[in-house]
Amino acid sequence: MINKIKQWISIKRSQNARLLLLLAIVGFNVLIWLISSLLAYIIDPSLYGSVVESLWNSGITWMLEPGFYDPSVSVPIRIISIVVIITSMITFSGGIIAYVANLFASIIEHSRQGKNALFISNHILILNWNSKALELIADYRFDDQVTNIVVLSDQDKEHIEQAIRNKLYEINHRSKLKNMNIIVREGDVYSKHDLDKVCLERAKTIVILAAEEASSINELKNPDILSIKSLMLIAHANLRPEQSVIVEIINEETLPLIKEKISNHLSLENQIIPILPDEMLGRLIAQTILYPVLNSVFQELFSFEGMEFYAVENKEFETIYEQCPRVIPLFKRNDHLYVIAGNEKDVQIRRDKPAPKPLSLAINVDMAYPETTIVVFGTNNKLKYILDSLHWFEKDASTKVNVTLVPANDMPTIRKHTHDLAKIDTILVLSDDHLEPKDYDSDVLVTLLMIQEIAIKHNAKIVIELLNPRNFDIAKSYNIENTIISNQYISRIITQLTKNRDLYPLFMELLTYDAENSSYEIYTFPAGSFIDGNYPMSFNSASEFIRSVYTNSDQQFMPIGILDNQRLRIFSGNLDEPQELVLEKDTLVAIVCK
């Protein structure tokens, strides 16, 4: 019997030591109450009258009122009462207080460690943690709506929270932070139990970030296997039709695997969006090499700050074009009309008077593109997409793009590949994406020092790619035309998609050149290269300029902004508002066209 009791105590102590301790405290004090009350009745039965009265008027009183001491009773009862008072103060009052304090401390500790379950809905759920996550979170500061963000990662919770605090502190000096609620949970992203605790099935969007550490990637035959593992678990959860899953992948071969074996198999084609950052960034970098101002255009339109892309359902192009003074319609694909606006409400605002009539302009839609020479320093996974985009641009624009690849950043190699070049229009320096995050961009900064004389000699523009935004301040003083911060761009694109997954076809179309002129892209042309006439040329409003160019180009050119005094101005607000717009011959105009 004793052994069974010992075994039961041992098991319960292992299972729930806190509950066993509470039972022991209560049981011990109940025993003191019964024994002391019985002894008091035996010593002086006339004082209490019955055992029941003794239970309520002796032991329990001494235990619940530690300050109660009656000197009028007999000495033996006084001694018993003193013993009970002292014992209960230690074991009962003190024990219960200590137990409750420990319970509260445990609740606080669980909350600090992120172990307690959440009750939250319509939130952004980020699984895993890498260098893009900080930029992703930071961009929500410009969102018009309250954003609840939950991060689940196996990395140290306090480390992630400190990184977020540091990032928000940095940007707080430059912009007003909007209402963001950020919750970090430390757990296993492959555990259904841990996913349930962060309300997976009630999330608006689930973002699966890829592993970035070089060691983790090199150890795996397929670097996307961990992302696929997470996706397989999530895809079989009870996802609602409005939920989206954005999964970042590294290997191009993973795309058909996700689409054919997961998305199509489970009929989730519209909900699962695989993002291949190297492809998107390679195509974006190619466009910014050819048209440097596009860097500023994409930075604004891919962010919640300023004007943004929107996908509008059940609206016709002409309806928005004629009725909405705060929206620039771009083109329609399937059931979605893609537009640029300040916020979603702009689509509902109607003109209170007729739109400005277009002026008569002589527009040349068949422009000649000059031959250009580009030198690329370094190599990474984006290079093949850069070269592919330049190849398609040659066919699209009927021009020639000469590319020289320099595989290393030592001076003998640099001289060998650039010595015989008669002309260099643009120099591109790529960052090695196989480094550990702490070493990001070190190769770019070294190369930047070595190519300064070459850039000056050829009057070449320098475009560099950085992975870590912190290195921008180091690089910006070295005569660079453009800085492409890769992680920042991808984070902004993912951020936009978490709010509206229907933007994905738009992003891919704008970033992809094609030889058949069937897709739309963004270009920047000097006004004098496609508008014939006397300069400076004046328009009464942004709307008048937009409608004049669009109408006189046979509806092929849709202007979205200009480079005014070296500052990009994407047309925004009430486009009909009278505000003189003056074009010089060399004023750059950003245009969406095929």
Tokens matching residue 534: 């006397």
- CB contact set of 446 (below 8 Å; sequence gap of 6+): 409
Whether pLDDT at 217 is above 60:
no
Q: Could you report the per-residue pLDDT of 521-532, keeping only the tens digit for each?
A: 999 999 989 999
Contact 512, 519 (CB under 8 A): yes
Nearest C-alpha neighbor of 568 from the set 331, 298, 346, 176? 298
Tokens matching residue 16: 């729930």
Query: What is each CA distance from 271 to 209, 256, 259, 398, in whole angstroms?
Result: 16, 15, 11, 38
Whether pLDDT at 474 is above 70:
yes
Rounded mean pLDDT of 584-590?
92
**Residue whose structure tokens are 């070190």:** 442
C-alpha to C-alpha distance for 336 and 333, rounded to whole angstroms: 5
Whether pLDDT at 144 is above 60:
yes
- CB contact set of 523 (below 8 Å; sequence gap of 6+): 291, 590, 591, 593
In percent, the amount of the chain with pLDDT more than 70 equals 85
Q: Using the CB atoms, write b or e for 88-98: b if 16+ within 10 Å.
A: beebbeebeee
H/E stretch holding 543: helix 542-552
Q: What is the pLDDT of residue 171?
A: 67
Start-end of H helices in 292-331: 294-301, 317-323
Q: What is the pLDDT of residue 550?
A: 93
Whether pLDDT at 12 is above 70:
no
Q: What is the pLDDT of residue 140?
A: 83
**Residue 408 burial (10 A CB sphere; 0-12, 13-18, 19+):** middle
Q: What is the pLDDT of residue 66?
A: 58
C-alpha to C-alpha distance for 54 and 41, rounded to whole angstroms: 6
C-alpha to C-alpha distance for 406 and 375, rounded to whole angstroms: 7
C-alpha to C-alpha distance for 192 and 189, rounded to whole angstroms: 8
Rounded mean pLDDT of 469-490?
76
Q: Could you report the per-residue pLDDT of 253-284, keeping only the tens digit for each?
A: 888 888 888 888 788 888 899 999 899 999 99
Q: Taking the CB of residue 421, how many other CB atoms lie within 10 A of it?
A: 15
C-alpha to C-alpha distance for 500 and 474, rounded to whole angstroms: 35
pLDDT bracket for residue 314 (50, 70, 90): confident
Q: What is the pLDDT of residue 540?
A: 93
Whether pLDDT at 581 is above 80:
yes
Q: Taking the CB of residue 208, how many other CB atoms lie within 10 A of it?
A: 25
Contact 223, 211 (CB under 8 A): yes
DSSP letter (8 states) at residue 492: H
Q: What is the pLDDT of residue 5?
A: 67
Which residues pair with residue 394 across a beta bridge?
A: none
Three-class DSSP category at 206 = strand
Q: Could you report the per-residue pLDDT of 320-362, keeping only the tens digit for each?
A: 999 999 999 999 888 889 999 988 888 888 988 888 899 999 9
**Considering only 57-66, 140-149, 445-454, 582-591, which range has the smallest mean pLDDT?**
57-66
Q: What is the pLDDT of residue 215?
A: 45
Cα angle value 450/455/459 (rounded, 5°): 170
Whether pLDDT at 465 is above 50:
yes
Cis peptide before 536 (omega within 30 of 0): yes
**Considering only 230-239, 295-304, 509-518, 572-581, which range has the smallest mean pLDDT?**
509-518
Whether pLDDT at 8 is above 70:
no
Q: Round the average pLDDT of the chain to a whole number and report it.
A: 82
Please name the amino acid found at residue 591. Answer: I
Contact 88, 32 (CB under 8 A): yes
Please name the amino acid found at residue 513. Answer: Y
Query: What is each CA distance from 395 to 207, 389, 392, 594, in whole angstroms?
Result: 36, 10, 5, 13
pTM: 0.77
Q: What is the pLDDT of residue 340?
A: 93
Q: Which domains does the chain have, with CATH numbers?
A: 2-113 (1.10.287.70), 124-275 (3.40.50.720), 372-491+500-510 (3.40.50.2300)
Nearest C-alpha neighbor of 506 from the set 212, 240, 292, 298? 298
DSSP letter (8 states) at residue 293: T
Contact 336, 312 (CB under 8 A): yes
Q: What is the pLDDT of residue 385?
A: 93
Tokens matching residue 108: 């606080």
Q: What is the pLDDT of residue 214?
A: 46
Q: Taking the CB of residue 174, how many other CB atoms lie within 10 A of it?
A: 6
pLDDT bracket for residue 103 (50, 70, 90): low
Q: What is the pLDDT of residue 221?
A: 65
Rounded mean pLDDT of 57-76?
66
> Do the bridges between strand 521-526 and strand 581-583 make them parallel or antiparallel, or are there none, so unpaired?
unpaired
pLDDT bracket for residue 79 (50, 70, 90): confident
Which residues pair with residue 523 across a beta bridge?
A: 591
Q: What is the pLDDT of residue 475?
A: 74
**Considering only 172-176, 312-316, 456-460, which range has the smallest mean pLDDT?**
172-176
